[in-house]
């Protein structure tokens, strides 16, 4: 006799419960007990608590009409698989350019000889930061990565970051601007951003693996973009909403159109916040690189994964140091660029 038999009898649901067909998949507790050599259902019942929590598995023991937990997860899986073909038909053509961009950037970065690529990246650092210290640090970091034979994989990681961060900015800034102009859109978008920001990073990969082949670059590209786009959207919205109302009124008094007001007043004043969002997006992209290596993303993440899988401590730690160096380089360069465009600091 199960613990909750009396509850269903008192509610008059016994005939409903008994009418359902018994059977179905094994409960999670039974499965764990069998795998641990516990002997199945009898062992689970013997080890049960005095007052078991009324979970689906526990209620099913008293009422066959209530599905077990494993039946519920099977239902979720069946629903996703039923919608998979339709989703793939829509998403495949939309996301294919992402594969082309990732593959093209990877081929370009790995095709260029180091004596062209590294000076080019150092010049780019100087152009965006105009800071001698940052530029020297970037140069020394690339020399160090080359000296330990990690330059090729670091460049592969950098190509992924450039593409994914660029797309995050291209998509995130317009979404943030639209949110700042429409309170209803902001209320509708914030729960989605909360979901993207709190979803465990491994969970991003589960539906994508079923939708796309693991050999397609867009698989890890989509995961990185979904994980990293949130800060630039939030901070663009916040930055434009924080623009001084007196400045907006002055722009209105001068007869500016909404488009002129947006691009000549609001966006320039919100630029520090937008750049801070870009900086956070870069850091989150790097954080996702190791996880993306589980689904064939090239670069330093592959070496970190190899270190974990084969217990090669040195390989994993050195590759992790390479990711840290890339993170510090991109962080310092983007913060130096932020300091250049910070209007509030320049007006003194």
Give whole-number Cα distances, 302 to 5, 91, 119, 249, 339, in Å: 53, 27, 26, 53, 34
Query: Cα 318 vs. chain centroid, distance in angstroms?
Result: 24
List, in order, residues 6 or more apart from 18 with CB less than 8 Å away: 64
- How far apart are the C-alpha atoms of 184 and 188, rounded to whole Å? 6
Residue 224, by phi and psi: left (phi above 0), alpha (psi -120 to 50) or beta?
alpha
Cα–Cα distance list, 345 to 135, 269, 297, 338 (Å): 22, 11, 40, 10
pLDDT digits (tens, 9 = 90+) for 167-194: 999 999 999 999 999 999 999 999 999 9
pLDDT band for position 347 (cuts 50, 70, 90):
very low
Between 24-33, 195-204, 214-223, 314-323, the lowest mean confidence (pLDDT) is in 24-33
Question: Quick check: 148 pLDDT over 80?
Answer: yes
Model confidence pLDDT, tens digit, residues 63-76? 888 888 888 888 88
Q: Please, what is the average pLDDT of the chain? A: 84
Q: Above 50 in pLDDT, residue 239?
A: yes
Handedness of CA 167, 168, 174, 178 (dihedral sign): positive
Please say whether the dihedral angle defined by the alpha carbons of residues 69, 74, 79 and 85, taken in this order, is positive or negative. positive
Question: Helix, strand, or coil here: 150?
Answer: coil
Maximal C-alpha separation, the chain: 82
Write the pLDDT tens digit of every residue in 241-278.
998 888 888 888 888 888 888 888 888 888 888 888 98
Q: What is the pLDDT of residue 67?
A: 81
Evaluate if residue 84 carries a pLDDT over 60. yes
Enter the tokens of residue 94.
Answer: 């939309």
Phi and psi angles of residue 275, each rounded to the nearest 5 degrees, phi first: -65, -35
Q: What is the pLDDT of residue 346?
A: 53
User: How does DSSP assign 45-56, residue by residue?
Assistant: HHT--SS----H
Question: For residue 63, which of 121, 126, 8 has the smallest C-alpha distance?
Answer: 8
pLDDT at residue 31, as a whole number: 65
Q: pTM above the 0.85 mark? A: no
Answer whether 27's CB lies under 8 Å from 60's CB: yes
Task: Enter the tokens of residue 208.
Answer: 């994508």
SS3 26: coil
Looking at residues 7-31, what average pLDDT do you find?
71
């Amino acid at each position: 006799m199960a613990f909750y038999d009396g509850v269903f009898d008192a509610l008059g649901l016994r005939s409903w419960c008994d009418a359902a067909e018994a059977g179905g998949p094994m409960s999670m507790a039974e499965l764990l007990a069998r795998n641990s050599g516990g002997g199945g259902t009898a062992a689970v019942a013997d080890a049960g608590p005095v007052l078991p929590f009324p979970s689906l598995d526990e209620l099913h023991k008293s009422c066959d009409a209530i599905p077990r937990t494993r039946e519920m997860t099977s239902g979720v899986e069946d629903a996703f698989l039923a919608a998979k073909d339709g989703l793939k038909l829509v998403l495949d053509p939309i996301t294919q350019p992402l594969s082309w961009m990732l593959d093209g950037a990877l081929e370009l970065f790995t095709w260029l000889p180091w004596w062209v690529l590294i000076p080019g990246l150092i010049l780019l650092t100087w152009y965006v930061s105009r800071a001698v210290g940052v530029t020297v640090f970037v140069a020394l970091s690339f020399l160090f990565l080359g000296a330990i034979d990690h330059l090729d994989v670091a460049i592969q990681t950098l190509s992924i970051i450039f593409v994914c961060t660029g797309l995050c900015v291209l998509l995130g800034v317009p979404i943030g601007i639209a949110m700042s102009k429409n309170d209803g859109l902001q209320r509708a978008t914030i729960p989605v951003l909360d979901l993207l920001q709190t979803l465990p990073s491994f969970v991003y990969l589960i539906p994508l693996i079923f939708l796309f082949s693991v050999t397609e670059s867009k698989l890890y590209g989509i995961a990185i973009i979904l994980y990293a786009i949130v800060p630039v959207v939030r901070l663009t919205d916040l930055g434009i909403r924080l623009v001084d109302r007196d400045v907006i009124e002055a722009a209105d008094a001068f007869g500016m159109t909404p488009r002129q007001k947006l691009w000549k007043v609001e966006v320039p004043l919100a630029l520090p916040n937008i750049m801070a969002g870009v900086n956070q997006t870069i850091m989150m992209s790097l954080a996702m690189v190791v996880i993306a290596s589980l689904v064939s993303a090239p670069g330093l993440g592959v070496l970190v994964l190899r270190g974990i899988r084969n217990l090669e401590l040195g390989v994993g730690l050195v590759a992790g140091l390479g990711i840290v160096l890339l993170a510090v380089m991109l962080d310092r360069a983007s913060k130096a660029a932020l300091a250049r465009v910070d209007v509030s600091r320049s007006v003194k």
